[in-house]
Amino acid sequence: MSGTVLLVGLGVIGFGGLISGVRRCTAVGLILSAIGAAAVGVAGFAFLCSGHPAGAGFTSELTVSLGVDQLSGLFLGMLGLVAVPALVFSISYLRGHRGERAIAMLTSLFLLVLALVLCARDPVTLLAGWELMTALPATIILVARRCDELARRTVFTYLAVTHLGGAGTWI
């Protein structure tokens, strides 16, 4: 049951992100994403409380494997707990911003990627999710502050540091 709620929640986040890209539907898309995030949070806490894992177990093989256990359930619950108010309040923050739709879509995608990192059970999935997790906030900043030289320089530094840290971890 928790696995179904998790999948439906992730689907609603994705659908909300798509709807956010439609003209004059950004607020509806963000609300849908918030509802999906609430479902992800509920499912995550259900995994934490039940103690029953779902999906694949951890592996060192280079295949795509996803699963949820109590620890990832805790973090999925926290993701939902933080994402719901952030998405709801972002409606008024983004209203009238020139990149409103793109930022809303990228934010929903960011939530999906965070869930991917939390549910990754193999190195390939974890690293793919990690790369997307670092690139999406940079993209959101660049969309929000298009002509700002300081923002571009800060994003470049951020990407360089995260990639050096990742390379250092694996080396």
**Gap between the Cα atoms of 61 and 124, Å rounded:** 8
**Which of these ranges, 14-23, 29-38, 117-126, 159-168, has the smallest mean pLDDT?**
159-168
71 Cβ neighbours under 8 A, 6+ residues apart: none
- Considering Cα of 90, then 163, then 155, then 124, what sign does the dihedral take? negative
**Gap between the Cα atoms of 64 and 31, Å rounded:** 31
pLDDT at 61: 84
> What pLDDT digit, counting tens, does each position of 22-76 carry?
988 999 999 999 999 999 999 999 999 998 999 888 888 888 899 999 999 999 9
> What pLDDT digit, counting tens, does each position of 66-116 carry?
999 999 999 999 999 999 999 999 999 999 888 899 999 999 999 999 999
**Gap between the Cα atoms of 79 and 77, Å rounded:** 5
Between CA 97 and CA 104, with CA 101 as vertex, the angle to 5 degrees is 100
